[in-house]
Chains A and B, each alone.
Chain A
Amino acid sequence: MVAFPPVFGMSAAVVGLATIVAPLAAFLLLGLLRPLRATGTPAAAVAIVAALVSTACAFALVFAGAPREAVADLTVPWLVSAGQTWATLGVYLDATSVPMLAVVTLVGLCVQVYSLGYLHDEPKESFGRYYAFHSLFLVAMLLLVVAKDLLQLFVGWELVGLASYLLIGFWWQKPSAARAAVKAFWLTKLADIGLGAAIVVLYVQTHALDWSPATVQALGPAGATLVAALLFVAVMGKSAQFPLHVWLPDAMEGPTPVSALLHAATMVAAGVYLLVRAWPIFDAAPDVRLAMAWIGAFTGLFASVVACAQTDIKKVLAYSTCAQLGYMVAAAGAGAIDAAYAHLIGHAAFKALLFLGAGCLIHAVHSNELADMGGLLRRLKFSGGAFIVGALALGLYPSKELVLAGVGHAGLQGPLVLLLAAAGLTAFYMTRSVLLALFGPASAHADHAHEAPASMLAPVLLLALLSVAGFALFDSVAPVLVAVRERPHSWLGHIAHGLALAGFAVGFALYGPRRRDALALPGVRAGLAFVRAAAVDRAFQAAYRMGLLAFSRSVAWVDRYLIDGVMNLSAFASQSGAERARRIQTGKTYDYLTAVVAGLLLLAVASVYAR
């Protein structure tokens, strides 16, 4: 095993630990010290400083110049069984976890700084609470990233779910936010049954919890298929794959920076990160990978279609996130895990950019609706420009070609066609959003729109810069960061570009200078798509209300009126029986005499017959 070079003169694992400890300290300070939390901005400063420390450590690890095989490992025994440790907790750094550390901390930092401006009008107490939740989120996500085995990954995974529940429900007094928070938790928890079962199976079969080749060997082909399938169920929930995607659009109820953090760059990415991390297991399960390719590709197309019909700018981005996660899942399904990871990292940057840019637009017009925007570019040059950069990146990012090439290589024609169609649609709906929000006649709200404060613009511009840099330097950075194979200059890339350009063109034709009643235009197809999207949601609702709740009511009825009824019946019977028996005690001599005579007669008869 190659050792990780020291960073800041310390062992790399300690620096990795610091990335977690800093936000943890911030969370504890803000969570436990109510007076500090209630100060508002100073409370935010605590969290931001912690995130800064964390980011600095993470980037130091990225630039430490470690060889790809280098590993740093610092774990303590966490669970025991018959005196022997079998689960550990700690920091495990290698070529897979370190890039993700940097992505998570950087996006987290950007979002925290951005929120300073975006949530400026929140009451001080809830502002402090917001930053406490953000710190908790970072802790959870980083725990997941540096996990050495599946159990710690599960711990982080569930805590990420908790943090997202708290952040989606940040405006907890709003009924829709409360509902969305609970819904997100339930759906991901439902899918997590798969992860829990996968860990159990893995341990029972191999007495190990990791994803090393030795463990996969011990698991055998059938075991690997079972574990991979169970893990994938959890991935579908976390990474919003059809049909478990229904929580994601609702989750936009949280503040926009939260959407950027959780539902674009990190939380939903946890599912794909699990695919990358536990890749040896998936690699050994070709049947599961085939299903992954199809489900990912279908989600990619489906969510893209639905995105075309949205009128809320955040929902457009939410469905586009679904679709891009579909790309990553499909790539993993095709065996191109490097492409999936590259797309994960690239997407984290430009989708955070898009959400934060959209947040600037929303901040300016106080509405999420595209109809309330329009002509904003004149007044919002920086954030509008950044949003356009994000849209272009989403349409043309090089890692998408890697995904398509991977799927094509694997000979999966069906998924390939779905994904290519999705690529065209992506360009179309982003063009539509850009044109509706930034160009054309100014809406009533746009007149007094003003550019966002510096605290919001700085992270947006940084992310825009990173997106451009990632675009320009992709071929030199990606192989180092995630060991992607060389980008194939195949006909697939040309087709993808052609489709994207066609998407841009159609979008421009429909929503460009001569736009008609644009929001009504996509017409029949998109309208149908919307109905279908809602249909999945309605199916879940029906299963919950008419299935689960109705069933629980009948269980409670049986419990109360039949099972407990029998207990009550026994009490009833003994009471009324006792009352009957009491009537014998009449107190009249002739009654007792009758009884005595009758008893004697009975005895006499009995003695005759007994002989």
Chain B
Amino acid sequence: MQGATLVQIAVAAPLVAFAVLVAMPGRLVGLVRWTSVVGAAVSLAAALGAAATYDRTAAGIQHVSSLPFVPSLGIALTFGVDGWSLPLLVLTGVILLAGVFASWDVKERPRDFFALLLLLSGGVQGVFASLDLFVFFLCYEIAVLPMYLLIAIWGTSKRVAKGGPLGFVWSRLDIGGKEYAAMKLTLMLLVGSALVLFAMVGLYVAAGSQSFDIRDLAKVPFERNLQLWAFVALWVGFGSLAGVFPFHTWSPDGHAAAPTAVSMLHAGVLMKLGAYGVIRIGMVLLPEGARELAWLVGVVATVNILWGALAAMAQTDLKYIIAYSSVSHMGVVMLGAATLTVNGWNGAVFQMVAHGLMTALFFALVGLVYGRAHSRDVPQMGGFGARMPGIAVCFTIAALSSLGLPGLAGFGAEFLVFLGAWQGGQPVWAVAGLVGAFLTAVYVLRAAKAIFWGPYGQAASASDPPGAPDPYPDLSDARGVEWFSLAVLVALLVALGVWPRLGLDLIDVGTADYLPAVAGRALEVLR
């Protein structure tokens, strides 16, 4: 099969599955599930096929196809892939498949749930494969909007204690509630989208209103002022989806309220859309803006790493811990991007993959623990390892990857980013990143210990009389299809950790394609 067709299938498969699901009667739950599995699996297989047929020596954008869409404005459904987008297409396929299996037991309106999940994933694949800025933006919106329904309908609420000088807002807002979280996430991301749209139209007009094709736009030497403001707009706009400080606060509430598979996809791939947008659109189209403002991106990313880690440390709700850890780890991606070095960029894209797998695993596990313990309050847990040993092992592996243990995917990614930071003349960023890895070790291992280690029911028995009923009667290990998503994600974390070149060889090609133009220097100097 032609590579171009494979790319089209990778994007279209989830959307076709979405259309089939919408037409399907909702009571056929089994058929609904398996349609979703097929949609996800076909997308994954096509993405893998596209990666396998990509010619690394030729490099550049390959597998290009184009269909006219709005010819009068120069908009076309142009798809194609490079060394960066391929690993991310595969990642999306993997996480979608794992997410489908993780939501196997969704009871409430399963057809609608799976349909929205696939629509969202089709949007994500569209962003990664799109070569037309308008289509890129369109897919970006398709990826973001279903989130509102998914969280507001299938989510869970939580009470957040009133406090602070702005406590009066509690009178109007149900802070922590699922509708609140869904609305907040959507609104904050839409403000970001507005900025992106603004910059996009600005670039289109400045380039002569001929074409939205990213390859054409990349050739235009935009004037300095435009580069600066458009870069800021794209950075903040896309960055809000990547959790860039201080526009990250939708993330903890949103991820905590979302159902398992939605958290997996959102933290696993949607946040990557933001970072991908900043690098692939913001930096590649606006090299001068990127060079001038890299210091700002880097400083904010450093804040992200440390702030996210410290905030995670103080949380007692399991989902909030993982959500803040995503804020911290996405900081590593942005830090790598800001270094404008080969190692930094390789690390940034590799971290997207590594963090995507790791956080999807985390959220899958959190969903399993929550489904059995009916609580997310970590201090009340303890000794769960005896009742769910497999879950405990997987949680430990995710934790170790997140703290950057060699042999798991997170190590290569973080190490390359810190190396790039120092090479880029910013030792402080590198040291801050290393400190962030230590802080991660503190909060993830603390959480793992509090949940799984120690004697069972310790916290509960402190106040209860002896012989009190089991506080967590439903605890059990993962079962049946639940193992599937865990096993796949763990296996990939280990595979990419032991042999990072599985992903890195491709990513390196993409970096070599784009970096010299952005950094304004020869590739050899940037190694």
Contacts and interface: CB of A to CB of B under 8 A. Distances in A.
A556 B315 contact: yes
Given A568-B169, A568-B175, A569-B166, A79 B314 contact: no
A190 B311 CA distance: 19
B313 interface: yes
A548 interface: yes
A572 interface: yes
A173 B453 contact: yes
A562 B164 contact: yes
Interface in A525-549: 548-549
A193 B434 contact: yes
Contact of B184 (A80, A196, A571): A571
Given A159-B406, A549-B313, A79 B172 contact: no
Contacts of B464: none
A158 interface: yes
Contact of B434 (A174, A196, A548, A569): A196
A564 B165 CA distance: 12
Contacts of B526: 82
B160 interface: yes
B412 interface: yes
Interface in A162-179: 162, 165, 169, 172-175, 178-179
B403 A189 contact: yes
B221 interface: no
A201 B455 CA distance: 44
B163 A561 contact: yes
A555 B172 contact: no
A162 B169 contact: no
Interface string B414-452: 011011001100000011001101100110011001001
Contacts of B253: 564
Contacts of B354: none
Given A552-B313, A555-B314, A572-B172, A162 B405 contact: yes
A81 B527 contact: yes
Interface string A62-88: 000000000000000111111110100
Given A182-B449, A565-B165, A155 B422 contact: no
B505 A568 contact: no
Contacts of A190: 438
Interface in B400-414: 400, 403, 405-407, 411-412
Contacts of B386: 173
A211 interface: no
A83 B458 contact: no
A81 B311 contact: no
Contacts of B431: 193, 197
B200 interface: no
Nearest to B433: A196
B5 interface: no
Contacts of A200: 418-419, 422, 430
B227 interface: no
Interface residues of B, number: 71
A182 B445 contact: yes
A564 B175 CA distance: 10
Given A82-B523, A83-B512, A568 B173 contact: yes
B363 to A, nearest CB: 20
A189 B175 CA distance: 37
B346 A81 contact: yes
Given A178-B453, A552-B310, A568 B500 contact: no
Contacts of B246: 563
Nearest to A179: B449
A575 interface: yes
Interface in A199-233: 199-201, 203-204, 207
A556 B163 CA distance: 12
B224 interface: no
B3 to A, nearest CB: 22
A80 B165 contact: no
A561 B453 contact: no
A573 to B, nearest CB: 9
Interface in B143-178: 160, 163-169, 172-173, 175
Interface in B286-343: 307, 310-311, 313-315, 342-343
A8 interface: no
B172 A576 contact: yes
Interface residues of A, number: 61
Given A78-B501, A556-B314, A572-B173, A185 B512 contact: no
Contacts of A562: 164-166
Interface in B475-527: 500-501, 504-505, 508, 511-512, 523-524, 526-527
B253 to A, nearest CB: 8
B383 interface: yes
Contacts of A516: none
Nearest to B440: A189
Contacts of A83: 508, 512
Contact of A552 (B311, B343, B406): B311
Contacts of A592: none
B500 A78 contact: yes
Contacts of B452: 172
B400 A162 contact: yes
B80 interface: no
A81 B526 CA distance: 10
A182 B446 contact: yes
Contacts of B168: 572
Interface string B339-361: 00011001000000000000000
Given A82-B512, A175-B454, A175-B455, A201 B164 contact: no
Contact of B527 (A82, A181, A551): A82
Nearest to A193: B434
B169 A569 contact: yes
Given A182-B449, A552-B314, A560 B422 contact: no
B385 interface: yes
B188 interface: yes
Contacts of A559: 249, 307, 311
B194 interface: no
B138 interface: no
A566 interface: yes
B31 interface: no
Nearest to B458: A175
B187 interface: yes
Given A82-B342, A162-B400, A172-B454, A204 B449 contact: no
Contacts of A178: 449, 453-454
Given A182-B446, A569-B166, A197 B172 contact: no
Contacts of B423: 204
Interface string B242-262: 000010011001000000000
Nearest to B59: A83
Given A82-B527, A572-B173, A189 B441 contact: yes
A274 B342 CA distance: 29
Contact of B406 (A155, A189, A561, A571): A155
Nearest to B161: A560
A186 interface: yes
Contacts of A201: 422
Contacts of B160: 560
Contacts of B458: 175
Nearest to B170: A568
B406 A154 contact: yes
Interface of A: 77-84, 86, 154-155, 158-159, 162, 165, 169, 172-175, 178-179, 181-182, 185-186, 189-190, 192-193, 196-197, 199-201, 203-204, 207, 548-549, 551-553, 555-557, 559-569, 571-572, 575-576
Given A154-B406, A159-B406, A173-B385, 8 more contacts: A80-B501, A82-B342, A193-B434, A552-B313, A552-B314, A560-B164, A563-B246, A565-B166
7 contacts: A83-B512, A84-B527, A158-B411, A193-B434, A199-B415, A556-B314, A571-B184
Going nearest first, the 5 A-B pairs with the smallest beta carbon separation are A561-B164, A556-B314, A565-B166, A552-B313, A155-B406
